[in-house]
Amino acid sequence: MVDLRVTLGRLQLKNPVLVASGTFGYVREMAGFVHLERLGGVIPKTVTFRPRAGNPTPRTVETPSGLLNAIGLDNDGITHFREHHLPYLRTVGTAVIANIAGEDEDQFVAMAEMLGQEPGLAAVELNRLVRRVRGACPLPIIAKLTPNVNDIVPIAAAAAEAGADAVSLINTIKGMAVDWRRRRPILANDIGGLSGPAIKPVALRMVWEVARALPHLAIIGIGGIARASDALEFMVAGASAIQVGTATFYNPPASENLLDELTGLLGETGVTAAAEIIGTLRSNRP
């Protein structure tokens, strides 16, 4: 038997397989496809302070090897989340990580304070780096970082310095799709965020750069992960856990299948604990 447990700062997971915010609904929608209690944890769609209608449609478009989306954080707000979703989420039998986004710092802090008082949450994932949240909330804090920057290392370093237990790398990469006959962008929002297999090399590079520069900061790898071999690439590059995102859209049980395959692959490799392989990648350069 392979020991799949992993630790990210103050957060302990039964295995490294998580599902990415915005790609797994509020979790109950997925209960018919995945044995939720088997996953390392679940991350419901981002919640904002007030309800948001999101962007006009079309909000998604398929591109070669990727999905472009501009949903615009469509959600019913934190009060609805606490009253309607949290009671269900407490029953799923695995770690629940709430993902929050504020329009300003005060909203982030207010939401983190509210969620810190709720039983049954394992951690909070912030859609942006926010310093004051650590003081406002006793739960482990994960900062989810945008890849739309020149150098990810100083951003991750700032998250570590602000007290984040872990960073999630990466969110979507800005892109666009064009209908040249209509002379219009396809998304109603013109530009959107690219996800899926197309972004995996960028995500791997960022995980590797952050892991090398900040060896004590826990990393959650995200970006085009669909199979166990993808997950293992991120783990050797330095990720202690991973999130399955877009793959769930084209293969709803992808996360659970990945977990089965991961156990098999680690066993074949002779590894007794998943944690043994984290950050074991070595450079080819002298």
Ligand X SMILES: Cc1cc2nc3c(=O)[nH]c(=O)nc-3n(C[C@H](O)[C@H](O)[C@H](O)COP(=O)(O)O)c2cc1C
Instruction: Output 251 or 263, the one with its CB closest to ligand X.
Output: 251
Tell me the closest approach of the beta carbon of residue 267 to ligand X, in angstroms. Answer: 25
> Residue 168 carries which side chain, given as an amino acid letter?
S
Min separation Cβ 1 and ligand X, Å: 28
Phi/psi at 161 (5° precision): -65, -30
We find the least distance from the C-beta atom of residue 195 to ligand X, in angstroms, to be 3
Our CB check for ligand X shows the closer of 187 and 274 to be 187
In angstroms, what is the minimal distance from the CB of 270 to ligand X?
28
Residues that bind ligand X (CB under 6 A): 20-23, 45-46, 60, 67, 69, 71, 73, 99, 127, 144, 171-172, 195-196, 199, 222-225, 245-246
Q: What residue is closest to ligand X based on CB?
A: 22
Q: Whole-angstrom Cα distance, residue 168 to residue 221?
A: 6
Min dist. Cβ of residue 160 to ligand X (A) = 19
Query: Cβ closer to ligand X: 7 or 60?
Result: 60
Residue 126's contacts (CB-CB under 8 Å, 6 or more residues apart) are 99, 100, 101, 108, 112, 133, 141, 142, 143, 144
- Residue among 18 and 217 whose Cβ is closer to ligand X: 18
Cα separation of 84 and 28, whole Å? 11
Which CB sits closer to ligand X, 92 or 225? Answer: 225
- With the C-alpha atoms ordered 93, 127, 234, 154, is the resulting torsion angle positive or negative? negative
Q: Minimal distance in Å, beta carbon 20 to ligand X?
A: 3
- The neighbouring-strand residues paired with 207 are none
- 2 versus 234: smaller Cβ distance to ligand X: 234
What b-and-e string marks burial along 91-108, b requiring 16 or more CB atoms within 10 Å of the CB? ebebbbbbbbbbeeeebb
Q: Where are the alpha helices (DSSP H) in the chain?
A: 78-80, 86-89, 105-116, 133-136, 152-161, 200-213, 228-237, 247-250, 254-269
